[in-house]
Amino acid sequence: MITSSGRSKIRSAVVVLAAAALSAAGAVAVIATTTTPAAAAVEDDSAGCPVPGSVPLTSNPRLPDPFRRVDGTRITTKSDWRCRRAEIKELVERYVYGDKPAKPASVTGTVSSTSITVNVSQNGRSASFSASVQLPSGTGPFPAVIVVGGFGADTSTIRASGAAIISYDPLAVGREGTPRNNKQGAFYTLYGSTSTTGLLAAWAWGASRILDVIEQSGGNILKADAIGVTGCSRYGKGAFAVGVLDQRIALTMPIESGSGGVPIFRGIAGESGAQPLSSAYSEQPWLDDAFGSFTGNPNTLPVDTHEMVAMIAPRGLFIMENPHIDWLAARSGSVAALAGAEVYKALGAGDNISYWSDVQDGTHCAARPEWRTPLQQNIQKFLLRTGNAPGTFRISSLKAGNLSQWRDWQTPALTDGPSTSPSTSPSTSPTTSPPPTGNGCSATVSINQWPGGFTAAVRVTAGSAPVNGWTVTMTLPAGASIVNAWNANRSGNSGTVQFTNVSYNGSIAPGQSTEFGFQGTGTGTGTTVSSCSAG
């Protein structure tokens, strides 16, 4: 809730971003190398990348090094970023947002010139929601911007620039005003009202399902590869989460997102008047239940929002903030942007990130004239692909962060060579349990091995009858030990291990599949599937 606002007469200075400018107050113009803007073809391209098991929660008042892997080594090539991003994503979902499930078993819907309908089903549960569409003038198909909650970047400027508006009501997917143990909305209908996943991840999941339907529609009205997202205030938090968690989003534009959005967690407590993390956590169940353990000491978090900014790289990102309202933590937001921009620059994509807090009007969520031109330029560059304006930082002297106070790491010169990350291709042929008969199931495992560790991806498939609960028995090689598993319960960590379904993936329709996985130490090569049983 905003309690105060005002207009400042302080004029911001403009300087060129260089090493010395990291500590300068005032507006900053970023000059960086140019890269071809492009969204990914998939929601998450990190399939096969190892993800961290347990990590030490040691206190660190500085921002974590985004270039340092969980094992302590630093990435050295641009292609290494893919699997480093996967590590960050795992930590973000584990400690900040909560788990964002992959695409449900069934996603259907329609796209028209006025609306989008979405129907989802998973494990016998179904839900539906919709969004309205406003097309610009001209002949389609059109790029589009998802406006979360109806509050975001100036919609008249977006449409005048040639992009459609998709008005998305996130409360239909994750309702505010509910207790953490009884969350409501389409997401929680599928994954349970007691899910620990916060509303922001649920809202991001809903936006991803809208994108699924656009992809399936054939592209006659809207272009699935030219979708942006925007939102202001709490919906700015949501827009940020959408861009962080779906790599198909070509342009992310959060506005005045405040605590729980772009601003670094570590900086909020020391920023006068900023909404405390405990307040943001308790105001609404926006964040994962696990985040409650860190509101009093964010220094123990193994991740921070600058790495979430970096997760959007090299895609388009335009962050807009308001320095006139202390509650919004714009100083901590500028630090997040500056630190995240280091990853953009290392990837050769420094021109794809912009930050703008140098505004005169202090009204919350206003359509500001200072943002109109960069908004048009970002739409042209990332959605219409007709422009190539450089990214720009204009930081108000009222809330200028100093990155040098927050980092003890330097930005590496990443090369264009092959990835030095652990192999992201299965290193062994899949092993399969006996084929299912009647109401049985089968399971297939693929191992991704690297020196000292491995991950396993297991697919469980129903036979000719539906499965309601399953158990997969597997035997690990001598010396191998499981350190982390997802989407399944397990009976042990070594030798012969039984994996059973969790609450949301036990029901499998005939001929359909679900997946679980685990990470281990030692050698996973030779892991075998003994059996898959249903019921």
> 364: which residues sit within 8 A by CB, 6+ positions away?
2, 5, 232, 233, 256, 322, 325, 328
d(Cα 464, Cα 334) in Å, to the nearest integer? 56
Which token pair is 453? 């560790």
List 12, 46, 79, 233, catalytic entry: 233
Q: What is the DSSP string of 184-252?
A: -SHHHHHH-TT----HHHHHHHHHHHHHHHHHHTTSSSEEEEEEEEEEETHHHHHHHHHHHH-TT-SEE
Neighbours of 2 (CB within 10 A): 16
**Do residues 228 and 136 make contact, with C-beta atoms less than 8 angstroms apart?**
no
Neighbours of 455 (CB within 10 A): 22
Q: What is the DSSP string of 301-343?
A: -S--HHHHHHHHTTSEEEEE--TT-GGG-HHHHHHHHHHHHHH
Which token pair is 255? 């506005």
d(Cα 352, Cα 160) in Å, to the nearest integer? 22
d(Cα 58, Cα 36) in Å, to the nearest integer? 39
Which token pair is 365? 């969520």
Sign for the pseudo-dihedral over CA of 420, 71, 424, 340: negative
Which token pair is 420? 């030095």
List 12, 46, 259, 364, catalytic entry: 364
Q: Is 462 helix (H, G, I), strand (E, B) or coil?
A: strand
Question: Which of these, 65, 44, 78, 39, lies nearest to 421 by C-alpha position?
Answer: 78
Q: Is 520 helix (H, G, I), strand (E, B) or coil?
A: strand
- Alpha carbons within 13 A on the beta-carbon side of 403: 25
- The residue written with tokens 């997946």 in the block is 515
d(Cα 395, Cα 38) in Å, to the nearest integer? 26
Query: Residue 233 catalytic?
Result: yes
Q: Which helix (H) or strand (E) holds 15?
A: strand 14-16
d(Cα 185, Cα 206) in Å, to the nearest integer? 10
Q: Give the active site residues.
A: 233, 364
